[in-house]
Amino acid sequence: MSFDVSSLKYDQAGLIPAIVQDAASGVVLMMAYMNREAVAKTLATGETWFWSRSRQEFWHKGETSGNVQKVREILYDCDRDSLVVKVEQKGAACHEGYFTCFHYRVEQDGNVTVVGEKMFDPDQVYGRKQRG
């Protein structure tokens, strides 16, 4: 069967959640939303494009920081309403400077630990801007 961007199930806002995973390590890097056009752009360019819900605009991941994500594989689920995008992450995915956005771990004792190390200083990369 051939893939049709329109065959995915988008929510009422026209969005589908995309789970971005580091292809080499399997680490889940981030989750963001794509609309139909962002899925098409991602397929066409081989880099991740999202729809920013807060800014209401396309967001080419890495445009500001240089930390682009080269797409290695795209999977969708049985409900056709979410994506896994396996990528080669340049630098760090998180705007806080960590490799993954998921760097807060809930411990058994109810405490939260920050896992991983900062790979860059957000202030130096973004200035006041906090995304990209």
User: Per the annotation, does 101 bind a ligand?
Assistant: yes
Under the binding rule (CB under 8 A), the answer on residue 44 touching a second copy is no
Which own/partner pairs from 13-16 qualify as long-range (CB within 8 Å, at least 24 positions apart)? 13/53, 15/51, 15/53, 16/81, 16/82, 16/83
In the bound complex, what is the minimum distance in angstroms from residue 55's beta carbon to a second copy?
14
User: Per the annotation, does 11 bind a ligand?
Assistant: no
User: Which of 74, 91, 118, 125 touches a second copy by CB under 8 A?
Assistant: 74
Torsion of CA 12, 56, 120, 91, to 10 degrees: 60
Between residues 66 and 130, which has the closer beta carbon with respect to a second copy? 130
Residues 99-128 that bind a second copy (CB under 8 A): 101-107, 110-112, 115
Under the binding rule (CB under 8 A), the answer on residue 6 touching a second copy is no
Q: Tokens in use for 74? A: 């795209």
